[in-house]
Amino acid sequence: MLQHFRLDRLRAVPYLCLVAGCSGSRQPPPAAPLPAISLAEARNWTAATEPSGHRVIRFRWLFNDGQASIGGQGSAHVAGPDSMRFDIAGPWGIGGAAAMVVGDRPRWVQPPEIIARLIPSYPLMWAMFGVMRPPPAGARTRGERQPGVTELEWSQGSDTLRYRLRQDDAAGLRAQWQRAGVTMGVVETRLDARGAPVSARLTVPSVPARLDITIAVDSTAGPFPASVWIPPAP
């Protein structure tokens, strides 16, 4: 049974979906560094998961911080190659929130007071929907490809993002974001044979907190009306 949440706590939930928290737990470094690759090559690899056309994804979500849990329904309107309208609502429609994201940056977020809590880590949000975001200009890139498995890492400043994409019988995408060697968030997404998301889990070690989503409907759509990209009335 879902336990009671205060409304202000519920409002913070979607933004934990979009960005992992402010501090994390230290993890041991990988056993061996990946070989260096060019920025162009890294971007070519991520392009394999880039959205195309228009999709509507409807999902169930469940958030747990070890003390209480709450869940509800959500949707994502995705327009390739890099735009998303993300909405969630809690039980009985309480605590709704929404955001529009282009690439790795928000265009708007509702409720607006939540913005102060955000850290720009939208690659983790995209990873929950099976998408690897391309490294930014100037990033240091490493990677390796083997049959059915792509490993990619890019670093800029104190931030490092690591991807592991499996396209075999155990298809899935793992994304890990670290800041100054501290793990801020990890996403594990299960994919179907088409590379579309089936379910995903975001873990934020510092809380600790966990967000699970389960895809209920994933359908193609025609171009979205302009209203999709307009923030809801307060």
Residues composing the chain:
234
Band of residue 12 on the pLDDT scale cut at 50, 70, 90: very low
Q: Among 2.60.120, 2.50.20, 2.40.50, 2.60.40, what is the CATH number of 7-219?
A: 2.50.20
User: What would the mean pLDDT of 124-135 be, rounded to a whole number?
Assistant: 95
In the predicted structure, residue 139 carries a pLDDT above the cut 90: yes
Residue ranges in the chain assigned as alpha helix (H) = 7-18, 39-46, 122-127
- Do 100 and 85 form a contact (C-beta atoms < 8 A)? yes
Q: Where are the domains of the chain?
A: 7-219
Q: What is the DSSP string of 45-89?
A: HHGGG---SEEEEEEEEEEE-SS-EEEEEEEEEEETTTEEEEEEE
Residue 63 exposed, middle or buried by CB count within 10 Å (0-12, 13-18, 19+):
buried
**Closest-CA residue to 17 (of 100, 131, 90, 124):** 124
User: What would the mean pLDDT of 101-111 be, rounded to a whole number?
Assistant: 90
Identify the three-state secondary structure at position 151. Answer: strand
Band of residue 51 on the pLDDT scale cut at 50, 70, 90: very high
- Higher pLDDT among residues 15 and 85, named by residue: 85
Band of residue 233 on the pLDDT scale cut at 50, 70, 90: confident
Q: What is the pLDDT of residue 93?
A: 64
Q: Report pTM.
A: 0.84
Q: Which two tokens stand for residue 66?
A: 């070890």
In the predicted structure, residue 4 carries a pLDDT above the cut 50: no
Band of residue 101 on the pLDDT scale cut at 50, 70, 90: very high
Residues 6+ apart with CB under 8 A from 180: 158
- Do 129 and 214 form a contact (C-beta atoms < 8 A)? no
- Do 65 and 209 form a contact (C-beta atoms < 8 A)? yes
